[in-house]
């Protein structure tokens, strides 16, 4: 009887061992960054940077103040071909869930830029300055 109990106990130990093993990841999921790749149209670089320094900056600062984003930045890039960007815009969100707050972001933009019609006109005006080549989301993985 003693050997049966010992065998059951030993089997239980082997069954529990994998469940109690440390299965934690070697990283945690961090902030999410949206990157927009921009090709500024010839002769429009200063005009586009003026827009970024005024309207864009005002909207981004309002989003930061509202807690919708944690940071934003503008990067210059050396395009190696006509199909590559010369500016990269980044917007940093605390996590993926922060991307679900789009309605709040639209409300912030409406306060800064006005009605949807005014925002639409501004978007059309921006397209005369630049071309959006694409966007992507990247997530930081913080190593433990």
Reported as a single tens digit per residue, the pLDDT across 93-143 is 999 999 888 888 888 888 887 777 777 777 788 899 999 999 999 999 999
What letter would DSSP give residue 69? -
Q: Is 135 a member of any domain? A: yes
Residue 57 lies in a domain: yes
Where residue 87 sits, what CATH number does that domain have? 3.30.70.100
Within-domain flag for 31: yes
- Whether residue 56 is contained in a domain is answered as yes
What pLDDT is stored for residue 108 in this prediction?
86
pLDDT digits (tens, 9 = 90+) for 29-45: 999 999 999 999 999 99
Helix axes 102-113, 116-127, angle to 10 degrees: 80
Does residue 98 fall inside a structural domain?
Answer: yes
Note whether residue 138 is domain-resident: yes
Name which of 62, 46, 51, 45 is nearest 108 in CA terms: 62
Looking at residue 23, its pLDDT comes to: 63
Residue 127 belongs to what domain range?
27-143
| Helix ranges (DSSP H) in the chain | 2-20, 45-51, 57-65, 102-113, 116-127
pLDDT of residue 17: 47
pTM comes to 0.77
Nearest-angstrom CA–CA distance, 13 and 23: 17
3, part of any domain: no
Domain count along the chain: 1
Q: What is the pLDDT of residues 6-23, one digit of tens each?
A: 444 444 444 544 444 446
Tally the C-alpha atoms within 13 A of residue 10's C-alpha that lie toward its C-beta: 6
Q: Is residue 7 assigned to a domain?
A: no
Q: Which strands, in side-by-side order, build the sheet including 130-143? A: 71-76, 87-93, 27-40, 130-143
Q: Which of 41, 120, 32 is nearest to 87 (CA)?
A: 41
- In this model, does residue 2 exceed pLDDT 60? no
What pLDDT does 121 receive? 76
């Amino acid at each position: 009887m003693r050997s049966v109990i010992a065998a059951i106990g030993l089997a239980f130990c082997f069954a529990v061992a994998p469940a109690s093993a440390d299965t934690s990841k070697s990283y945690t999921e961090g902030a999410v960054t949206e990157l927009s790749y921009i090709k500024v149209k010839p002769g429009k670089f200063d005009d586009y940077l003026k827009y970024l320094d005024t309207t864009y900056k005002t909207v981004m600062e309002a989003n930061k103040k509202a807690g919708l984003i944690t940071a934003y930045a503008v990067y210059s890039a050396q395009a190696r071909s006509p199909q590559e960007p010369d500016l990269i815009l980044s917007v940093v969100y605390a996590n993926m869930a922060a991307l679900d707050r789009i309605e709040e972001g639209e409300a912030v933009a409406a306060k800064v830029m006005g009605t949807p019609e005014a925002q639409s006109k501004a978007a059309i005006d921006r397209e005369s300055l630049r071309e959006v080549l694409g966007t992507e989301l990247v997530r930081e993985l913080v190593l433990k």
